[in-house]
A and B are shown apart, each in its own frame.
Chain A
């Protein structure tokens, strides 16, 4: 720019002024690249090599090729942990997200505007609370004999359920905890999407005589599809890193009914110190999440265009 060339910077020499403009972006991103290399790239590569080795504790590593992965495929606890994690993911997608969508619809309606503030803070709150605290609260809620949930069930004439001590109910209990924690938060994503849909489209449809259900199924949901997909995939990926809640509630039990993949990784690596094998578990998790993430990346792109 012509104007810029004529103006002399006040404090810096001309040369330095030009220089710093070129250097600045590199300085700004340098911390990212350095930390990324040291605490992401290096561990990722190191972990990959480790997954082909047998290393227990601080003993010297032994190269075993694909043996860890072969063992994994026959490891019943590992397969169990994949199933449990998937069970949780499906539970969140099919229970939590429909509820979140309905919540967002209620939120977005003009009837809710008087108490918006209360709703926003209220439904956001569980996400702010640490997983540790939520798990401890749910120890209180889910207790078989003295828990609130069973008290509520019994008050409407249903039998008490041994949530945390039965193999059948332990995972549903963790899913209930998940629904309680994240439904409100996911509703915020949906709300952001709903607010992007212009009122005119909907009013036009109403005047054409469409009822509420038709408006939802024919107009709103199709328009919301990218957001819905994004939230679904985010929930699935989030589910695969589940650890704290079942770790504190049930410690993975009873008989591995709530053992998640990250928990199995933790037990293998930090209780039994089988570091090579734990790395192989980590990489299986990477493969699963990367596959899901590629789909996710596609949707990130999709969002950026508009």
Chain B
């Protein structure tokens, strides 16, 4: 049988050299590049792995030499006979986790974090994308000044406002309340910017069609523009939830009541100068990371799509 080459090539020495080079470098390149990347992944993953393993060790074992990459109780359950529990055939030292739930208000911290992070990110995403939509698709007075304000406030990190914001919270009597955490961050200029960049690409014809059908302006946002901007919402969902969940400095300043602490604040305060149930702190850190992982895995596809489809390209 004859194969037909549909792309007739002019054989030049340069082109032949080029193609030969491509072929021989293929395997070598594959090995080298993936080895480098896998090594990078190893360096990233190893500390996490060690953290998780350490949550199943008593403190004396965490701070011991040489390092072990598995808890000793796995092999020898007689080491801590009253503390080791058999879970699915593994002998696990669960004292760190027991301490977390029995001696500390960890569940309460978790609930606080969930309420605060969800409230804050849902509000921030909704209000910021609405503003971003207006900046992208309408002409109104103060639009340009407004957008300049957005850009300027992206540049300034909130850290510089700590003192006056704290005094403002004190004046409003919002210290030690959820309000202080949610309200000041209910709109985030950077999200406005990202949303505007994304929504500016949505064709106006789409909006006009909806208008002809009698859709209100908010309806256009909600039913037409928002659904086609899903990838951008994916990016915002991850960024916003992540920022809210992982915030530390601001809660540290405005929350004093231990029962209002977030997970991060709780474990950070535990790690103090007076030594410390370090295994439990690590266990708390590990469990406190899981909601982020859940949101990331849930939104991940949208997120990557959003990054490549233009949210970051617009930067």
Contact = CB atoms under 8 A, between A and B. Distances in A.
A128 B214 contact: no
B159 A36 contact: no
A103 B29 contact: no
Interface residues of B, number: 103
Nearest to A41: B149
Label chain B's interface by main secondary structure: helix
A148 B67 contact: yes
Contact of B160 (A21, A138, A282): A282
Given A36-B149, A138-B47, A279 B163 contact: yes
A136 B153 contact: no
A79 interface: no
Interface stretch (B76-84, B164-172, B226-234): B164-172
Q: Report which residue of A40, A180, A278 has the largest number of chain B beta carbons within 10 angstroms of its beta carbon.
A: A40
Interface string B60-93: 0011111100000000000000000000000000
A39 B162 CA distance: 11
Given A109-B29, A121-B296, 15 more contacts: A29-B130, A32-B189, A39-B168, A44-B164, A50-B164, A111-B32, A128-B242, A130-B246, A132-B268, A140-B51, A143-B63, A266-B162, A282-B162, A293-B156, A300-B315
B164 A10 contact: no
Given A10-B214, A12-B214, A46-B168, A128 B292 contact: yes
Contacts of B100: none
Interface in A44-60: 44, 46-47, 50
A157 interface: no
A184 B44 contact: yes
A29 B131 contact: yes
Interface string A167-210: 00000000000001000100011001001100000000011110
A35 B100 CA distance: 38
Nearest to B150: A32
Interface of A: 1, 3-4, 7, 9-12, 17, 20-21, 24-26, 28-29, 31-33, 35-36, 38-40, 42-44, 46-47, 50, 103, 106-107, 109, 111-112, 114-115, 118-133, 136-141, 143, 145-146, 148, 151, 180, 184, 188-189, 192, 195-196, 206-209, 230, 237, 240-241, 243-244, 248, 251, 262, 265-266, 269-270, 275, 278-279, 282-283, 285-286, 289-290, 293, 296-297, 300, 303-304
Contacts of A289: 155-157, 160
Nearest to A231: B315
Contacts of A20: 216-217
A31 B186 contact: yes
Contacts of A269: 162-163, 166
Contact of A109 (B14, B33, B138): B33
A192 B307 contact: yes
B271 A248 contact: yes
A28 B130 contact: yes
A290 B315 contact: no
Contacts of B45: 122
Contacts, number: 279
A136 B167 contact: no
A9 B9 CA distance: 62
B293 A128 contact: yes
A136 B282 contact: yes
A32 B187 contact: yes
A42 B155 CA distance: 17
Q: Report which residue of B164, B165, B268, B296 has the largest number of chain A beta carbons within 10 angstroms of its beta carbon.
A: B164
Given A46-B164, A136-B282, A285 B37 contact: no
Contacts of B282: 136-137, 140
Given A32-B187, A119-B37, A128 B296 contact: yes
Interface in B5-61: 14-15, 17-18, 26, 29-30, 32-34, 36-38, 40-41, 43-48, 50-51, 54
Contacts of A127: 242
B253 interface: yes
B112 to A, nearest CB: 15
A137 B156 contact: no
Interface in B255-272: 264, 267-268, 271
B164 A47 contact: yes
B34 A111 contact: yes
Interface string B164-198: 11111000000000000001101101001000000
A113 to B, nearest CB: 10
Contacts of B248: 130-132, 244
Contact of B163 (A35, A47, A120, A209): A47
A12 B300 CA distance: 40
A4 B47 contact: no
